[in-house]
Chains A and B, each alone.
Chain A
Amino acid sequence: MSKSNATAIELENLTKRFDEVVAVDNFSVGIKRGEFFSLLGPSGCGKTTTLRVIAGLETPTEGRVLLENQDVTKIPAYKRNVNTVFQDYALFPHMNVKKNIYFPLKMKKVPLENAEPKIQRVLKLVNMEGFERRLPQQLSGGQRQRIALARSLVNEPAALLLDEPLGALDFKLRVAMQKVLKDIQRNVGITFVYVTHDQTEAMTMSDRIAVMKDGLVHQIGSPDEIYNDPATAFVASFIGDMNFLNGTVLFMSDREGKVEVSGNTIRTRKPKKVSGGGKEVLLCIRSERVLLNPHNSQLDNVIKSRLKRIVFRGTDYEATCIFDESEIRAVVGATVWDHSLREGDSVRVGFNSKDVVMFPIEEERDVIKYSVEAV
């Protein structure tokens, strides 16, 4: 499990336009060898297009693609040493499992005798030994997925590109396959570029994630960075459960900020993007960082509010509290929930300034909202 600092894939100012639509906008990144790198975002954000450019199935409008430090921008897909696992697997229906897996080796003119051990090795890797003679139509979704994976790995490519490979599987199977994929990636030590719209998937499997929207890369970072230090309001809203409050800046220094929200003064983390007082801003706080009726007087922010709604979610309780026109959700573990609380009660909500992230109000339009209008 060695992750050297060598770069497996590098994108330099990659831009792809279809007519007037900008699918990918100036994407630059260096993906390290052996890294599990995810492209995460809602549909239409450009993640699949980026993947196809790396694979060579699309040519970029501007920019370069480098594979192992070689410029492959002009090189067609069949000459590149990367393989793709497609969302619908694309197993050749007129070939059985063995012939499907043999196909890439056949294209490299490897005779069948030499190929046999390699084929057996990948079949073992995906736990599908014995299925050589089956046809794709005779396999289940999960089995087809594993054969597609095997087929892409048999040539030992420099990197494996996966386009939402688990999208067609049901939940339990998906979770199981996530583990399988991660194990294979670690064992083989191969670079993975993984496209998904499922943030949990990306968070659990990746070394680093690039969060995209409408062709723009909002942030590239580790799951921890993405979660705790979102670069934009969109990233903040896309991952996990985030509270959003509108306020006006009262005071700004290079160590902290003070924002007025519905008559309350809220102390925030060191502001990165906002400068100057009087500006309207968006404050973000993770709902699990909001405490109800906190004892700890060391909390920077405590607001009086009214408990509007309590929802029991099995492992935790979600309490929605309102103060003036602002609404804030607190998620409290079931074991520490105060069962005397009732809807309509007055409660104090508290959170630390280091948990409050500030964004300019213009970024509010990127926030993923879940409401009736949004449907």
Chain B
Amino acid sequence: MDRKKRRFDSPRSYSKGVPIVVWLLFLVVVPLIFTFTMSFYSSKGLVIEKILTLKNYKLFFTDPVYSRILFKSLRLALSVSVLSIAMAYPLAYMVSFKMARGRNLLFMMCIIPLWVSYLVRIIAWRSILGNRGVINSALMTIGIIQEPLRIFLYNRFAIAVTLTYICIPFVFIPVYTALEKIPRNILNAANDLGANELHSFLNVVLPLSLPGLITGFIFSFIIALGDYIIPLQLGGTQGIMFGNLIWSQFGFAFNWPFGAALGFILFVISVTILGLTAKFGSTEGGFLSE
């Protein structure tokens, strides 16, 4: 009468899990452990000294240059997420509530930009914002300006716009899923009890879609925070974000231990934020299950 054993299946049936656990160890757990360990080493020139030290973390927390970059990135991620919500939520609302037919088709069409190449989307924005890009060419043709404006590219504005563009589908999916889950007869009931559309929205739709909204916000935030390619491509000198700060440690700066420390800090931040989704966001509506 072994009570503890009965709560879960006997270990014999765990054999089904061996492959996935091996995968987990090799590709997730062990690399993370190695990274954590490396964050306590230090680098001298091209050599990595395997003596444990806290100097990487000390450097990050004391030298304002680095923490400033992190805060800059956090702020940017926040703005990007807010912008993405401002664009994705109304779109999702429109598709879910205002479209009588063709909803599935419309949903697909809002998702497609998500799946067609991250890199191509970056290239697209470079070509739109650049000196000889679409905006400048259009403005010059119309005659508003004579010389191309340099304000569009190689700055934080460019990063923000491109990141928002990337993040919109990631907000759209969970929000749309959450909106679709709201039973329409609840809205009929609200209407029947005297609520107009604004009231229905504020009191019924918004609260019920909140988990989806939070999930979308968090996904967008994480993506924007950790991105390094967009700041590299479009950020110019203004555009040093946390992402490409980390990247440079593995590139020309060749300070792998410091990069590991920064990476680990980013890991902790991401996991904490993702943990918030589990608590406050919706667990469904991922791209992984339908």
Residue of B at shortest CB range from A21? Answer: B6
Please give, as numbers and ranges, the residues of chain B lying within 8 Å of A113 by CB-CB distance.
none
Is A171 located at the chain interface by the 8 A CB criterion? no
Residues of B within 8 A of A20 (CB): 3
Query: Which chain A residue shows the least CB distance to B4?
Result: A19
For the complex, what is the distance from the CA of A19 to the CA of B5, rounded to whole Å?
A: 8
The complex places the Cα of A360 from the Cα of B86 at a distance, in Å, of 70
Tell yes or no: A306 within 8 A of B by CB: no
Which residues of B from 196 to 212 have beta carbons under 8 Å from A?
Answer: none
Instruction: Tell me the total A-B contact number using a CB cutoff of 8 A.
Output: 8
CB neighbours (8 Å) of A17 from chain B are 1, 6
In the complex, A17 Cα to B3 Cα: how many Å?
A: 10
User: B7 an interface residue at 8 Å Cβ cutoff?
Assistant: yes
- How many angstroms between the C-alpha atoms of A20 and B1 in the bound complex? 10
A18 within 8 Å of B (CB atoms):
yes
Main SS of chain A's interface residues? loop
A370 to B3, CA, bound (A): 36
- Chain B interface, >50% SS class: helix
Residue picked from A18, A19, A20, A61, most chain B C-beta under 10 Å: A19
Q: Within the complex, what minimum Cβ distance (angstroms) separates B4 from chain A?
A: 10
Interface string of B1-36 (1 = CB under 8 A from A): 101001100000000000000000000000000000
* Residue in chain A with minimal CB distance to B7: A19
Across-interface contacts of B1 in A (CB, < 8 A): 17, 61
Q: Considering the chains assembled together, what is the distance between the CA atoms of A20 and B4 in angstroms? A: 10
Closest A-chain residue to B6, C-beta based? Answer: A19
Distance in angstroms from A253 CB to nearest chain B CB is 45
Smallest CB separation, B284 vs chain A (Å): 24
Contact with B along A1-40 (1 / 0, CB 8 A): 0000000000000000111100000000000000000000
A196 to B7, CA, bound (A): 28
* B interface residue count range (under 10 / 10 to 19 / 20 to 34 / 35 or more): under 10
- Closest Cβ of chain B to A367, distance in Å, is 32
Q: Cβ of B7: which chain A residues have Cβ within 8 Å of it?
A: 19
Chain B 200-236, CB within 8 Å of chain A: the 1/0 string?
0000000000000000000000000000000000000
Q: How far is the CA of A333 from the CA of B3 in the complex (A)?
A: 56
A143 and B1 alpha carbons, distance in the complex (Å): 44
Chain B residues within 8 Å of A18, by CB: 6
Which residues from chain B contact A61 at a C-beta distance below 8 Å? 1
The docked-state distance in angstroms from the alpha carbon of A20 to that of B7 is 9
Q: Which residues on B sit within 8 Å (CB–CB) of A19?
A: 3, 6-7
| CB of A9 to closest CB in B, whole Å | 26
CA distance A50 to B43 in the complex (A): 67
- Residue numbers in A under 8 Å from B3 (CB-CB): 19-20
Residue of chain B at shortest CB distance from A20 = B3
Q: Distance in Å from the Cβ of B173 to the closest Cβ of chain A? A: 29
Instruction: Give chain A residues whose Cβ lies under 8 Å from the Cβ of B6.
Output: 17-19
Expressed in whole angstroms, the Cα–Cα distance for A197 and B1 within the complex equals 30
Q: Once the chains are docked, how many angstroms separate the CA of A17 from the CA of B1?
A: 9
Separation in Å of the B239 CB from the closest CB of chain A?
Answer: 54
Q: How far is the CA of A129 from the CA of B241 in the complex (A)?
A: 72
**CB-based nearest B residue for A18:** B6
Instruction: For the complex formed, measure the closest distance between the CB of B6 and the CB atoms of chain A, giving whole angstroms.
Output: 5
The complex places the Cα of A18 from the Cα of B7 at a distance, in Å, of 8
Give Cα A17–Cα B7 distance, bound, in whole angstroms. 11
Q: How far is the CA of A61 from the CA of B7 in the complex (A)?
A: 13
The interface centre, meaning the residue of B1, B3, B6, B7 with most chain A CB atoms within 10 A of its CB, is: B6
A236 to B111, CA, bound (A): 62
Q: How far is the CA of A19 from the CA of B9 in the complex (A)?
A: 11
**CB proximity of A164 to chain B, nearest CB, Å:** 26
Which of chain A's residues 52-87 have a Cβ closer than 8 Å to chain B? 61
What is the CA–CA distance of A20 and B3 in the complex, to the nearest angstrom?
7
Q: How far is the CA of A18 from the CA of B6 in the complex (A)?
A: 7
Contact residues, A151-178 vs B (CB, 8 A): none
Bound CA span A61–B2, Å: 10
Instruction: Give the docked Cα–Cα distance between A18 and B1 (Å).
Output: 11
- Shortest CB–CB separation between residue A340 and chain B, in angstroms? 50
A300 and B7 CA atoms in complex are apart in Å by: 57
A19–B7 Cα distance when bound, in Å, is 6
Convert B230-269 into 0s and 1s, putting 1 for each residue whose CB lies closer than 8 angstroms to a CB of A: 0000000000000000000000000000000000000000
C-alpha gap A17/B2 in the complex (Å): 11
Bound-state Cα–Cα, A12 to B6, Å? 22
- Complex alpha-carbon distance, A234 and B243, angstroms: 70
Query: Nearest Cβ in chain B — how far from A194, in angstroms?
Result: 29
A118 to chain B, nearest CB (A): 35
Shortest beta-carbon distance from A6 to chain B in Å? 35
A18 CA / B9 CA spacing, docked (Å): 11
> How far does the Cβ of A284 sit from chain B's closest Cβ, in whole Å?
37
* Least Cβ–Cβ distance between A13 and chain B, in angstroms: 15
How far in angstroms is the closest Cβ of chain B from A286?
Answer: 42
Report the minimal beta-carbon distance from A309 to chain B, rounded to whole angstroms: 37
B92-112 CB mask vs A (1 if < 8 Å, else 0) is 000000000000000000000
Q: How far is the CB of B13 from chain A (nearest CB, A)?
A: 13
- Enumerate A276-315 residues with CB–CB distance to B below 8 Å: none
Closest residue of B by beta carbon distance from A17: B6
- Distance in angstroms from B8 CB to nearest chain A CB is 10
Within 8 A of A (CB), among B268-285: none
Cα distance A371–B104 in the bound complex, in angstroms = 47
Chain B proximity of A102: nearest CB distance (Å): 29
In angstroms, Cα B5 to Cα A18, docked, is 10
Q: Give Cα distance in the complex from A304 to B6, angstroms.
A: 58
Report the minimum CB–CB distance from A16 to chain B (whole Å): 11
User: Could you write out 8 A-B pairs with CB less than 8 Å apart?
Assistant: A17-B1, A17-B6, A18-B6, A19-B3, A19-B6, A19-B7, A20-B3, A61-B1
The 5 closest A-B pairs by CB, nearest first: A19-B6, A19-B7, A17-B6, A18-B6, A19-B3
| 6 more A-B residue pairs beyond the given contacts A19-B6, A61-B1, with a C-beta to C-beta distance below 8 A | A17-B1, A17-B6, A18-B6, A19-B3, A19-B7, A20-B3
